[in-house]
Amino acid sequence: MNAGLTVLAVASSVVFAVSGVAFWVKPPRRLASRVRPYSSAARMEFGPGPDYAGRIDPGRTAGEGAIRRLLRPMLTGMVYPLARILMPMDDRELAIRLRQSGLFPDLEEATRPRVYRMQSLGLVVVYAAGLGGVALLSGGSSARVILFMAAGVTLGALQVRARLSAAVRRRREAIRSELYTLNQLVAMYTRVGGGPIQGLRYVVGRARGIAVEEIAEVLHLHDRGWVFAEAMARAERLTPEPEAARTYRVMARSQEQGSDLSDALLGLSKDLRAMRRDALRRAAARRRILMVIPVVVVLAPITMLFMAAPIPSIVFGG
């Protein structure tokens, strides 16, 4: 029992340390989302730049105690390597995944990987400490407590990865549902004589959505000096939805070559409608199968029992 108490004490210490890090290491203020459109065009370039080390943890110098400013780098340096083990991908790739998932929209792109890793580590520690405490309170041995804690670490790591994948999947579905309307509006505008950029400005000024936000960022970069095709190529590279990347590629090609954009967008809309129809049919088929499972698992055995109940009396009499 002493060994179990020792393990629980160690787990509690880890939870306390992570909680301390979460308290000391705070994310930047949310003012960044308001001033981001007014930043320079170079800062709009995705990915770490030369000043990445200085932007990854800008911190605050006013209104903080000296102890917090002194201990924050030390605690972060000790805990952050453990957080990187949960998500072994580099910060650039993780930043792209976080952008595609829509998590932490108010934070700078360079700070999102650090915040996500620290929160993920805290979740894993909570799972490990919780399962270890359950094993200890149930009177398990030290080996059992360690096994439960290892299971908690595995479960927490899987939950962290599943959370990110689920967020990316939900964002892809949202973009896919918006693309049909976006393509139709741009096609209508270009068919009456407008250009691709003017059509996109028309849609951005009157619509809302995730795909519209990506188009608005492309137009913002174009206004800041980017070539339209390069801005579209960036959006094509960063979007989580393949059909959106296909749409952006068609728009960029139409602007460069002067081809008819309306017919191409209407063709993409037909493909999207067919894809959504097939997806609904597959979902309906899966739901039919799920509706049959309760009948087979619950009602069929009960029916068989009722049918078999009089058999002994018929065979043996009575």
Q: At residue 137, what is the residue type?
A: L
CB atoms within 10 A of CB 72: 17
Contact 252, 233 (CB under 8 A): yes
**Segment 74-99, tens digit of pLDDT:** 666 666 676 777 677 778 888 888 88
**Segment 182-217, tens digit of pLDDT:** 888 888 888 887 788 888 888 888 888 888 899 999
**Segment 109-124, tens digit of pLDDT:** 888 888 888 888 888 8
Chain centroid to CA 303: how far? 46
R_g of the chain, CA atoms, integer Å? 28
Structure tokens at 182: 């976006």
φ/ψ (deg, to 5) at 220: -65, -45
Confidence label for 153 from pLDDT (cuts 50, 70 and 90) = confident
Contact 103, 240 (CB under 8 A): no
Of 69-83, 89-103, 124-138, 278-292, least confident by mean pLDDT is: 69-83
Calculate mean pLDDT across residues 137-164: 83
pLDDT of residue 304: 82
Dihedral Cα 194, 233, 269, 164, nearest 10 deg = -140
Of 4-8, 117-121, 272-276, least confident by mean pLDDT is: 4-8
Query: How far is the CA of 294 from the CAs of 37, 204, 282, 287, 300, in angstroms?
Result: 54, 48, 20, 12, 9
Is the pLDDT score of 163 beyond 80?
yes
Contact 253, 262 (CB under 8 A): no
- Give domain 173-273's CATH architecture: Up-down Bundle (1.20)
Query: What are the sequence ranges of the domains in the chain?
Result: 2-31+54-170, 173-273
Angle at 55 between CA 49 and CA 57, to 5 degrees: 140
Q: Which among 113, 108, 89, 117 has a CA at the least distance from the CA of 21?
A: 117
Calculate mean pLDDT across residues 263-284: 87
Is the pLDDT score of 16 beyond 70?
no
Of 49-63, 109-123, 151-165, 190-204, least confident by mean pLDDT is: 49-63
Q: Which among 154, 126, 142, 119 has a CA at the least distance from the CA of 16?
A: 126
Location of structure tokens 């959370």: 163
pTM greater than 0.75 (yes/no): no
Contact 200, 218 (CB under 8 A): yes
Residues with Cβ < 8 Å from 312, sequence gap 6 or more? 318
